[in-house]
Amino acid sequence: MGLPGSAASEDSNKLSIIYFCLHGLQLLDKFQFSDGELEYYSKFIYDEFLIENDDFIGFRATNYFKQAGSYDLPNLSATLFALYNLLILKSNYSKRLDQDKIMKFLQLCQIKTGEFKGGFAPTITKNEKGEYEQYGDSDLRLCYIALAIRHLVKYDEFEDRKHDIDSKAALDFILERCNSNGGFSSQVLNEAHLGFTFCAVASLKLLEYPLEKLESTKHWLVQRQVDYPAVLYQDTEYEYYKPIDIGGFNGRENKLSDTCYCWWCTGALYIMNSDNIEFVNLSRAEEYLLYRVQNELFGGFGKDIESNPDPFHSYLAIASLSLWNKEKFGLKEVHPVLVISQESYNYFKREVEY
């Protein structure tokens, strides 16, 4: 089950690509697999990506490192995407994955001291003394991933949480990265970015933080919708300038639009309050997705009007349309915090028991 040669560089993202495709199919109401196929694909994920030892449970990013010894590392994002995929494949992972061991992995990934205290590293490795230590850079994406994993093993529902993460430190880490304009950044005092802002808002929701305190964040989000008519910059010589860029959303001030930001913006607004998406021009946003970045020949959605379609941007475009008006587009409901189909989330609530 390898990727084609043209996509070989994405092998470490294989579980995320599966996630985009499967949950996209479910939002389109085209998820049609037999029970045997569901079981086969679930077994593939367990057999090829699961890492379990006496200390923790996690999932590897690529099965090519399965026999790589000390180079075979568990990965936070791979663990989240594995759980998302197992949900849609109707594999009740609570019967196979030990809750405490997954939480021990999160504990090991959480940074305990220094300027990044409360954040999470993407993976762990062993040093020369045989002790686990964090490896890789920390930012708000990893906070969101860790908190989503915590939710998916229902640890936030327990009173006795002996293997819990330091949620207070995680909260402080997130809030420290709130910029003066209301957006959230990768690091303290960096420029605010829409992707990090969604991760922050969704993380705060998972931590049950009162989101009504984020009024400046709401205003910053609303300002992300782009309205760049051709006449405004008719004399520009910027190589990447698009003559008309209307209805989409940008990730930072004075940048061009990108399909994925439709979700990062309106998803964050919706999580804060479902009425918030009325503050953006949805008709123009719909037109941007359907008539500017949707590929009329192949189907799917690209990053912008010049890009080929890909699973990532296609899924977030479909999720956005579902969030805005699922009935109008004949789509199934999306869960705004976890960005999975509501149908899969309902399966999680009903079947996963710890």
What tens digit of pLDDT does each residue of 111-156 get? 999 999 999 999 999 888 889 999 999 999 999 999 999 999 999 9
Question: Mapping DSSP to helix (H, G, I), strand (E, B) and coil, where does residue 239 land?
Answer: coil
Question: Average pLDDT for residues 217-229, to the nearest whole number?
Answer: 94
Residue 2 pLDDT > 70, yes or no?
A: no
Question: What confidence category does residue 68 fall into, taking pLDDT thresholds of 50, 70 and 90?
Answer: confident
The band of 175, judged by pLDDT with boundaries at 50, 70 and 90, is very high
Query: What is the rounded CA–CA span in Å between residue 229 and residue 243?
Result: 7
Q: Report domain extents, the chain.
A: 224-353
Does residue 75 carry a pLDDT above 70?
A: yes
Summarize pLDDT for 281-323 with one digit per residue, the tens: 999 999 999 999 999 999 999 999 889 999 999 999 999 999 9
Q: Which two tokens stand for residue 76?
A: 């936070």
Which residue, chain included where needed, has tokens 């009935």? 327
Query: Mean pLDDT highest for which of 115-124, 221-230, 232-241?
Result: 115-124
Say yes or no to pLDDT of 98 above 70: yes
Percent of the chain at pLDDT > 90 equals 84
| Whole-number CA gyration radius for the chain | 20
Which tokens go with 28? Answer: 């389109």
Strand pairing category for 123-126 and 132-135? antiparallel
Q: What is the mean pLDDT of residues 230-244?
A: 65
What value does the mean pLDDT take over residues 80-100?
98
pLDDT for the residue 71 = 79
The pLDDT mean for the chain works out to 94
Whether the per-residue pLDDT at 279 is higher than 80: the answer is yes
Residue pair 91/113 in contact by the 8 Å Cβ criterion: no
pLDDT at 173 (0 to 100): 98
Other Cβ atoms closer than 10 A to 163? 17
pLDDT, average across residues 20-38:
98
Classified by CATH at the fold level, domain 224-353 comes out as Glycosyltransferase (1.50.10)
State the average pLDDT over residues 51-78. 91
Average of per-residue pLDDT across 274-279: 97
Q: What is the mean pLDDT of residues 53-80?
A: 91
Which residue type sits at 5? Answer: G
Contact 344, 87 (CB under 8 A): yes
pLDDT band at 59 (very low <50, low <70, confident <90, very high): very high
d(CA 102, CA 114): 24
In this prediction, residue 239 has a pLDDT band, given cuts at 50, 70 and 90, of low
